[in-house]
Amino acid sequence: MALAMPMFNLAPDMRVSRLCLGTMTFGEQNTFSQSIQILDRAFDAGINFFDSAEMYPVPQRAETQGRSEEFFGRWIKERKIPRDNVIFATKVSGPSGQMSWIRNGPESLDAWNITEAIDNSLLRAKTDYIDLYQIHWPDRYVPMFGETEYDPLLNFSSVSFEEQISALSRAVDAGKIRYIGLSNETPYGIMKFLQVAESGTGYPRIVSVQNSYNLLCRTFDLAMAECCHNERVSLLAYSPLAMGILSGKYFSPDGGPDDARLNLFRGRYVEGESRYNLSKARIRQAAISYCEIADKYGIHPVSLAIGFVLRHPLVASAVFGATKIWQLEEVVGAITVELGPEILADINKVHWRLPNPCP
């Protein structure tokens, strides 16, 4: 793994590795000992960017909530890693109603909930500040996690954009967070947050949006790309392997390893299964077609998937997960892959035939 890890200037004084290790398996699929080993190997490979969330690990439950942040903080302390050598990103949960153990739902993203979430994340991670703090999903109705059409009848009263960004601004002023970002957002949400920030109030500007982007989900390019390009907002592309589907592991005769996430948590992980449903023919057909392209050009399916995401000019970093060292090494090895025009043409043929089966 002695590869030079490319970096990206996410903010004027914040350089992040083009691969970001997501920690949402830490504390559920991965014990602390296993998590430490994965973090060590990622850091040794040049990854300095680590993403978490107050609700992690997944599938979410009261008994494990917050362990991912806790494990990350314990790793820094036990390994005596200088705090400014890593970029720590985490998120506040949006309104859910399904996680009663997180502020009764959470009920909303009002100022109290945001402030409480920040303070609790700081305590769990045993750190004085968070480099990038993100709103995990909006405090309003938007179609997401497999939904594709906006239904005006589902709209509900939500906390104002100004109240949300005002709470984040106070945390920036207090030194608790350095920069702010969004996740699972739409062009409308991005523009409203930017509008409030640029209204002369001195509020911080968002620097990133963390949305799904991979060979099976290119919806970012439909409208978000124009918005982010013109407003200088970088994409943190999560699920670059489409929850492991693009590795090809689920297409073996036995259906893949028992401990693969979609097998291990079958029926328990609604957010993931609603989007990455292998019973849908279009998803299987598209994923198998991409694996066949990788085979045609003699590269690993993981390299094809990661290479495709990192070639996007608006992608600052690909946020991936790994439950085993060898999975981490496969992803790290993909940073050297460059996809030429012929392979991109083959990819686009599949995309035109089976567009965005995992929106």
| 7-353 topology per CATH | TIM Barrel (3.20.20)
Q: Give residue 2's pLDDT.
A: 53
Tell me the H-state helices in the chain. Answer: 32-44, 67-79, 111-125, 161-173, 187-197, 224-231, 261-264, 270-275, 281-296, 301-310, 325-333, 341-353
Q: Give residue 156's pLDDT.
A: 86
- pLDDT tens track, the chain, 359 positions: 456 899 999 999 999 999 999 999 999 999 999 999 999 999 999 999 999 999 999 999 999 999 999 999 999 999 999 999 999 999 999 999 899 999 999 999 999 999 999 999 999 999 999 999 999 999 999 988 878 889 999 988 899 999 999 999 999 999 999 999 999 999 999 999 999 999 877 899 999 999 999 999 999 999 999 999 999 999 999 999 999 999 999 998 888 888 888 888 888 877 777 889 888 999 999 999 999 999 999 999 999 999 999 999 999 999 999 999 999 999 999 999 999 999 999 999 999 999 999 99
Strand duo 7-11 + 130-135: pairing: unpaired
Q: Give residue 258's pLDDT.
A: 86
Q: Which of 56, 250, 276, 290 is catalytic?
A: 56
List, as one string, the DSSP characters of 19-81.
EEEE-TTBTTTB-HHHHHHHHHHHHHTT--EEE--TT-SSS--TTTTTHHHHHHHHHHHHHT-
Structural domain spans, the chain: 7-353
| Residues with Cβ within 8 Å of residue 5, at least 6 apart in sequence | 17, 18, 19, 45, 46, 47, 48, 332, 335
Q: Is 250 a catalytic residue?
A: no
- As given in the structure block, the two tokens for residue 335 are 């940073």
